[in-house]
Structure 1
Amino acid sequence: MRKDITSPKRTAIVTGGSSGIGRAFVASLHRGGWQVVTCGRDAGKLAGLAKDFPGIHTHLCDVGDKASVEAFVDLVSSVHHDIKLLINNAGGMRELDFTQPDLLRQDLTQEIRANLEGVINLTAGLLPMLRASSPSHIIMVSSGYGLVPVTRAPVYSASKAGLRSFTKALRRQLKGQGVTITDVAPPAVDTPAALGYQGKKISPQHVAELTLAAAMRGQEEVYPGETRWLPWMMRLAPRWIENLVAKS
């Protein structure tokens, strides 16, 4: 691991750390000597995570529920006082077809609550401690679909686009206050959530290592794998890249 990722006895908060990219972040930080605090909704997975990475702190928290976020923030605030890193990773993605009947009977805004509202609430709750421990860092796990929406997941795409907008505005508000924000926009990642996806996928470990190194440098945006072409192609051939991503 790069030396600039190590940070003995300092605290990192990782949401959704029990699987996928979140677990990869937990593993990288644990190896680097960080005190890791993570949360999730599945007590069994969290127990397994704590067994695999001795010394980490695990808590139940549904980031899509404000009361749950408030309880988690209160708990973390009472125990950990040198929070140097917040990784807003928890979230989810569903495929929703708005041409189907009776769609309103479904919970259509689940991704908005988990991917956007939860990030806003958790960041607001932990920001005073991050500012007090500056220099500190926030990582926002966005998505390539936040730049260019995918047809099969319109609400997910909207939530990630909203997250990118929130991140940019928050970065301007925090300028000069010792808190840097890194937005990572991964492509398809080889996680349990992407088991049904047949296209090219990158490893969650690669995303975590690349992003942590970038965050410690204060880098604002990270585009792992195939997404590295997105900003460039959106300027050069926006219609072509939108049509390509829409069908992915």
Structure 2
Amino acid sequence: MSAYQGRFAGRTAVVTGGASGLGKAAAARIVAEGGKVVLWDLNAEALTAAAAEVRAAHVIALDVADPDAVAAAAQASAQALEGRIDILVASAGITGATVPVQDFPVDSWKRVVDINLNGVFYCCRAVVPFMLANGYGRIVNVASVAGKEGNPNASAYSASKAGVIGFTKSLGKELAGKGVVANSLTPATFESPILEQLPQSQVDYMRSKIPMGRLGEVDESAAMVCFMASEECSFTTASTFDTSGGRTTY
């Protein structure tokens, strides 16, 4: 049971990457705290299962790298949410190849940037007008400590997540004073299905960089996401929130 019953009463949210990991955990908590959620994800089968588990109001299977699909999904989501989109949690992401730059496949680089960075831009671009129309919004763009520090053999992922941080700083400043705040989350590695995309050596490297000596838990980052997505987060925008076990302190 959530410690914040009713925190999202009357609020509506779109969560990308909502079929698993941090997206699903954050969505479940928003619903448990009184909100209505639409889940977006590329994996239609997992999306159906997550919808039942989370008790989502609606689901849409799409690729966030497709700007036309994102724009259409935003319209459909607003309709399912009675004309409002109060919250966007942009959590969809992939790791890409785990190799040195000189060996990095160009198609993998483009796909990582398309989903992790361009996808965040497309989602924000499509959802912000609904927030401005109602004079209220909370945007949580999921970045990574890799966007602050860089991880070796993960150049596309690190670059894309650094781009999310910079994009969110710009967006937050644009929206400041309009009732809409935008921040990014920079988690260290946490237990999530995305780890299945990585060799164990890469996971071990990332764990070794965390002073607490362990990976994070998805619920720890979901708790931070839900603060960022709530009315309580009212005087911080264009910034980053850290859940890194002490790895990043700035």
| TM-score band w.r.t. shorter chain | 0.7 to 0.9
**Counterpart contact for 1:21–1:89, Cα < 8 Å:** yes
Shift of 1:215: 3.9
Q: 1:212 aligns with which of 226, 229, 236?
A: 226
CA distance in 2, matches of 1:30, 1:79: 15
Matches within 5 A, 1:65-214: 65-80=66-81, 81-94=83-96, 95-100=98-103, 103-104=105-106, 106-195=107-196, 196=200, 197-198=203-204, 199=207, 200-214=214-228
The 1:13/1:168 distance shift into structure 2, 3 A limit, reads same
Structure 2 counterpart SS, 1:51: helix
CA distance in 2, matches of 1:175, 1:27: 28
The 1:214/1:2 distance shift into structure 2, 3 A limit, reads farther
The 1:186/1:51 distance shift into structure 2, 3 A limit, reads same
Structure 1 counterpart SS, 2:103: coil
**1:91 alignment partner AA:** G
Residues paired across the two proteins, number: 229
CA distance in 1, matches of 2:149, 2:56: 39
Shift of 1:100: 2.8
Aligned to 1:235: none
**1:25 alignment partner AA:** A
Structure 2 counterpart SS, 1:77: helix
CA distance in 2, matches of 1:61, 1:160: 21
Shift of 1:150: 0.8
More displaced stretch, 118-127 vs 209-218: 209-218
**Counterpart contact for 2:26–2:223, Cα < 8 Å:** yes
Does structure 1 residue 224 correspond to structure 2 residue 224? no
CA distance in 2, matches of 1:4, 1:174: 28
CA distance in 2, matches of 1:188, 1:229: 10
CA distance in 2, matches of 1:55, 1:231: 35
More displaced stretch, 68-77 vs 157-166: 68-77
Structure 2 counterpart SS, 1:127: helix
TM-score with structure 2 setting the length: 0.84
Structure 2 counterpart SS, 1:99: helix
RMSD between aligned residues: 1.9
Deviation readout 1:24-43 (Å, 9 max, x if unpaired): 11111111111010111111
CA distance in 1, matches of 2:142, 2:15: 11
Percent same amino acid among aligned pairs?
25
More displaced stretch, 55-64 vs 192-201: 192-201
